[in-house]
Amino acid sequence: MKKSTSEINVRYGETDQMGVVYHVNYLVWFEIGRTDFIETLGLRYAAMEEDGFLSPVVDAKLNFHYPVRYGEKPIVETWLQSYDGIRTMYRYEIKNEAGKLCVSGTSTHTVVKKETFRPVSIRRSLPEWHAAYSKAMEA
């Protein structure tokens, strides 16, 4: 299974007064993981937008197991949970340096036309993406 690993540089402003990373920021880190995962497939999200498409989030789930702190060097592991030619679901695991699972979750995405926000078939509209995602699912 294709899996990407992204190193996160914890930003000071990502902490809150609990003294740990503010929970909302882990959803930003999921996106960092997703962007890197896409690059391991040989694709670039920025290029998709330049071609007139957007990939909005349909749903997201987060499970918070253990806090990440400023000064730590966490990673996000990202892989494909499902893909059907229309919807893509990614799975994420954020781990600290000791390898402890801190946050896990998923997000589901469609692809839409930039101008109209109308959903498109990835299979038909973005065949290069479809090929890469299909292959990643097989692996």
Name the site residues for a second copy (rule: CB under 8 A). 9, 11-13, 15-20, 22-25, 27-28, 31-32, 35, 44-47, 49, 54, 56-64, 67, 70-71, 117
- What is the nearest approach in angstroms of a second copy to the Cβ of residue 20? 8
Using the minimum distance from each CB to a second copy, give the nearer residue, 45 or 128.
45
DSSP, res 65: -
Q: Is 84 labeled as catalytic in the residue annotation? A: no
Using the minimum distance from each CB to a second copy, give the nearer residue, 41 or 137.
41
Single-letter code of the amino acid located at 42 = G
Using the minimum distance from each CB to a second copy, give the nearer residue, 54 or 137.
54
- What is the nearest approach in angstroms of a second copy to the Cβ of residue 12? 6
**Angle, CA of 50, 40 and 63, to the nearest 5°:** 95
Q: Residue 93 pairs with which residues in a beta bridge? A: 77, 104
- What is the nearest approach in angstroms of a second copy to the Cβ of residue 122? 18
- What is the nearest approach in angstroms of a second copy to the Cβ of residue 49? 8
56 by Cβ neighbours in 10 Å (0-12 / 13-18 / 19+) ranks as exposed
State the Cα–Cα distance between residues 98 and 73, nearest whole angstrom: 10
38 and 49 Cβ atoms separated by less than 8 Å: no
Active site residue: 16, 51, 59, 84, which one?
A: 16
Q: Strand, coil or helix: what is 87?
A: coil
Using the minimum distance from each CB to a second copy, give the nearer residue, 115 or 138.
115
Supply the residues annotated as catalytic: 16
